[in-house]
Amino acid sequence: MSLSPVSLERQLKLYKGLVEVSALINAITESSELLPAILEVARRVMEVEAASLFLVNGDGELELTYASGGIMAGTSAPEARIVVPRGRGIAGWVLEHGEALLVPDAYADPRFFKDTDRQTGFRTRSILCAPMQRKGKEIGVLQVLNPIGREAFDEDDLAAFRAYGDLAATAIDKLRTIERQQEQQRVAQEFAFAREIQASFLPQSLPSLSHVHFAATYRPALNVGGDFYDVIESGPDEIYFVVGDVSGKGMPAALLMAQALSILRLIVKPGISPVAAMARWNAMISGHTIRGMFITAMLGRLVLSTREVELCSAGHCHPFTTAQSGVKEIKIPGSPPLGLLPELPSRSHTLTLAQNEWLVLYTDGLVESFNREDVPLDGVGVQRLLSREFASATDVVDGLNRGEINHRQGAEPHDDLTILVFGFQ
């Protein structure tokens, strides 16, 4: 049966509209521009009073996202929020069944959700509604209301509108892919910036003395954390050192790490004890940290002439010493991490390093290094790695690094790792 000139002209107009929508999808990459544009084309080409787009929200219900024409023209604001419960109304039926639907008389169809008209004051006569699905996933529904100059839609309208629904789903899927990629790029840039902050605050070189050897390593995990270390020469006979770990990841941890190191460098003066420096450090940090964040740290002072080391801990890992005589874990009387309490009760521990004895400080990325079976290296594993003779501080750091990598067996590191070693030769 041949089509009448009027019907042929209308179908040609419908499919020219589809070409126009396809061009929009390829040209526009912002949802705030593309989705309203698709609706406007659908309303103009289908010659209808109103068009609307509902997306599936986090509760699995349909929520009006954009509307064109009618009393809800330009709707996208929260105050105009319209939600259609799943399975209710024409839109809910279309979503649930995944089928496009032609409703010649809305009020004669028991599936019609009259509450929307009551909310908006708009009078719905006839409806075309098409599901938006992509790769088996529900996205939402697209619908047009009330053909202009006609009482109801017909089957020709329905065939074209199915294609509109498919194109709209393609557009939304494309936009979400772009947004995910942009978010991934933003996160990657944030991590890169955070790592640059960390690297700029870590020491660029360690003290170079004939009888004292320092070595350190810092390895960030896949996600940026807040590990740090520093070695500060405060005079010809006195060196301060610190290893610490900021809780959390990303930019907040990197910024707190930078702030903490800057404050500590202002505090450290010749003759100040680690306990006094730690207390002052905590007082200056407390009240300025983001809620829930804190810092663990091991702060110490080395007196070169006596080889005496004074250590003070704020909730940090116990250090080790390693020498020909064996490996020892140094139990430091602990106190809470920095930033949790306004006053920090702490005590110090003093030891004297023998010739060729190495003091090993580290963050929990070492003992909490997990292999593919989720087994940690733990303190026993670290002692085992240290149970051999080392020629230098660099040798100690390299040995711990290799041992930690071997323990992971190819598993990705889940935390930053920092090691600081020094001793007399």
Same domain as 77, residue 20? yes
Same domain as 208, residue 102? no
* Distance from C-alpha of 215 to C-alpha of 287, rounded to nearest angstrom: 34
Q: Residue 372: helix, strand or coil by DSSP?
A: coil
Residue 171 makes CB contacts below 8 A (sequence gap 6+) with 21, 24, 25, 34, 35, 38
Same domain as 143, residue 251? no
Question: How many other CB atoms are found less than 10 A from the CB of residue 288?
Answer: 11
Cβ atoms of 11 and 160 closer than 8 Å: yes
Same domain as 204, residue 145? no
φ/ψ of residue 349, rounded to 5: -130, 130
Per-residue pLDDT of the chain (425 residues; tens, 9 = 90+): 444 454 556 666 666 666 766 666 666 667 677 778 878 888 888 889 999 889 999 888 888 888 887 655 444 444 456 788 778 889 899 999 999 999 999 999 999 978 778 877 888 999 999 999 888 788 999 999 999 999 999 888 898 888 888 888 887 888 888 888 888 888 778 777 777 777 777 888 899 888 899 999 998 776 666 789 999 998 899 999 999 999 877 677 778 888 889 999 999 999 999 999 999 999 998 877 767 789 999 999 999 999 999 999 999 999 999 998 899 999 988 789 998 888 888 789 999 999 999 999 999 999 999 999 999 999 999 999 999 999 999 999 999 999 999 999 999 888 889 999 999 98
pTM higher than 0.85: no
Q: What is the CATH number of the domain that holds 270?
A: 3.60.40.10
* Distance from C-alpha of 246 to C-alpha of 295, rounded to nearest angstrom: 4
> Which residue matches tokens 């110490």?
300
Please name the amino acid found at residue 115. D
- Within-domain flag for 84: yes
Sheet holding 62-69, edge to edge: 83-84, 62-69, 48-56, 137-147, 127-134, 101-103
Alpha-carbon torsion, ordered 277, 280, 286, 290, to 10 deg: -40
> Which residue matches tokens 């390593």?
217
Same domain as 230, residue 82? no
> Which of 148, 179, 210 corresponds to the end of one domain?
179
> Which of 122, 156, 179 corresponds to the end of one domain?
179
Number of domains in the chain: 2
Same domain as 112, residue 68? yes
The rounded radius of gyration (Å) of the Cα atoms in the chain is 34
> Which residue matches tokens 């067996």?
409
Question: How many other CB atoms are found less than 10 A from the CB of residue 88?
Answer: 17
> Which residue matches tokens 């892919």?
177
Q: What is the CATH number of the domain that holds 72?
A: 3.30.450.40
* Distance from C-alpha of 223 to C-alpha of 294, rounded to nearest angstrom: 18
Alpha helical stretches, state H, 98-213: 115-120, 155-201
* Distance from C-alpha of 350 to C-alpha of 359, rounded to nearest angstrom: 12
Same domain as 337, residue 398? yes
- Within-domain flag for 184: no
Domain with 281, as residue range(s), is: 190-424
